[in-house]
């Protein structure tokens, strides 16, 4: 991997900053009484996004395939700015699991971008993803909204992810280069990284694991039925163990017993409970 030292430093900074939300939660709770953290996040994310859009020539009518940049981390970066201004439960329910998947994978999985410490793009890339992740957890953990990990979040995040992936795939198919059939695999000898055009979201996941040669339709079903659910389940598991620490914008500490409220699996999957569940299922089938 190129620039291993840069990756290790970015990884350590990410672990320290995200860990501080839990270890130094009293400090971060005090910051909720002012706006300086949210202002800093907004300012940095605007710098990151504007610099990216300018250099990548986004919204250029001469490049219709990049007219709208539908990468997941780009979407989350913009929504993190809106979250700092208008924190809402609905947005967290929709985007919180995706905020773990997108920036989390980018930070913790080596991507070999080739940025050095002396390059602005090193900080733009890693701190852009890190601050996006931090912004979502900051609002989630310190009670800016009443969002919490429950069945409502699971249903909303899954439904939103399904429609987002469907919309993005339709967009990808609309901008496949001329002569390339999205219903057929990549011909031998062609590069799967460039063959499908931008291939937003799917290219970053499917192609990076070596399956980019598959037709776009197959990529879509793989994401919807296999990789998407797996990634969502992982993000839900993380949210299960990282519950909100405060309520009412950091003014009220939430009390819960870690052993009973989080690790108490035995009381849920008891022999009697399983018998009751099986009996209810059999009754429903008979009806």
Domain residue limits at 225: 4-286
**How many alpha carbons fall within 13 Å on the CB side of residue 131?**
27
Angle at 105 between CA 232 and CA 213, to 5 degrees: 85
User: Dihedral angle at the C-alpha atoms of 208, 211, 214, 219, nearest 10 degrees?
Assistant: -70
**How many alpha carbons fall within 13 Å on the CB side of residue 192?**
20
Given a cut of 80, whether residue 156 has pLDDT beyond it is yes
Number of domains in the chain: 1
Confidence of residue 67 (pLDDT cuts 50, 70, 90): low
pLDDT, position 38:
96
Please give the mean pLDDT across all residues of the chain.
86
Task: Give me Rg for the CA atoms of the chain.
Answer: 21
pLDDT, position 259:
53
Lowest model confidence (mean pLDDT) among 72-81, 124-133, 248-257: 248-257
Given a cut of 80, whether residue 60 has pLDDT beyond it is no
Given a cut of 70, whether residue 251 has pLDDT beyond it is yes
DSSP string, 83-142: HHHS--HHHHHHHHHHHHHHHHHHHHS-------TT-HHHHHHHHHHHHHHHHHHHHHHT
> For residue 252, what are the β-bridge partners?
247
Mean pLDDT of the 207-233 span: 93
Distance between CA atoms of 35 and 247, rounded to whole angstroms? 17
Mean pLDDT of the 77-95 span: 96
**pTM (two decimals):** 0.86
Given a cut of 80, whether residue 172 has pLDDT beyond it is yes
pLDDT, position 46:
96
DSSP string, 169-188: HHHHHHTPPTT--TTSPPPT
Q: How far is CA 145 from the centre of its chain?
A: 19
Reference 199, options 215, 210, 187, 221; nearest CA is 215
Lowest model confidence (mean pLDDT) among 2-11, 24-33, 250-259: 250-259
Lowest model confidence (mean pLDDT) among 8-22, 77-91, 114-128: 114-128
Encoded tokens for 208: 């990076």
The rounded percent of the chain whose pLDDT value lies above 70 is 84
The answer to whether 132 and 138 have CB atoms below 8 angstroms apart is no
Count of CB atoms situated within 10 Å of the CB of 45:
21
- Measured in degrees and rounded to the nearest 5, phi and psi for residue 59 equal 65, 25
Distance between CA atoms of 222 and 207, rounded to whole angstroms? 12
Reference 184, options 192, 70, 164, 163; nearest CA is 192
pLDDT, position 268:
52
């Amino acid at each position: 991997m190129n620039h291993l030292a840069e990756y290790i430093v970015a990884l350590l900074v990410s672990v320290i900053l995200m860990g501080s939300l839990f270890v130094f939660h009293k400090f971060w709770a005090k910051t909720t009484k002012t706006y300086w953290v949210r202002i800093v996040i907004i300012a940095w994310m605007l710098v990151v996004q504007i610099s990216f859009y300018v250099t990548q020539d986004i919204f250029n009518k001469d490049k219709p395939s990049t007219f709208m940049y539908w990468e997941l981390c780009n979407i989350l970066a913009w929504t993190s700015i809106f979250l700092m201004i208008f924190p809402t439960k609905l947005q967290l329910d929709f985007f919180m699991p995706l905020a773990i998947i997108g920036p989390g994978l980018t930070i913790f999985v080596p991507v070999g971008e080739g940025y050095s410490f002396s390059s602005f793009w090193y900080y733009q890339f890693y701190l852009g993803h890190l601050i996006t992740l931090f912004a979502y957890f900051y609002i989630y953990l310190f009670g800016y909204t009443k969002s919490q990990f429950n069945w409502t979040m699971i249903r909303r995040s899954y439904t939103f992810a399904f429609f987002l992936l469907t919309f993005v795939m339709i967009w990808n198919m609309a901008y496949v280069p001329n002569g390339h059939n999205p219903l057929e695999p990549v011909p031998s000898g062609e590069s799967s990284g460039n063959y499908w055009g931008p291939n937003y979201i799917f290219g970053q996941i499917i192609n990076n694991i070596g399956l980019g040669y598959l037709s776009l339709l197959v990529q879509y079903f793989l994401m919807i039925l296999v990789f998407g659910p797996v990634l969502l389940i992982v993000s839900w598991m993380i949210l299960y163990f990282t519950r909100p620490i405060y309520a009412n914008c950091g003014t009220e500490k939430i009390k819960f017993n870690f052993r009973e409220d989080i690790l108490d699996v035995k009381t849920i999957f008891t022999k009697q409970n399983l018998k009751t569940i099986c009996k209810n299922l059999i009754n429903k089938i008979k009806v």
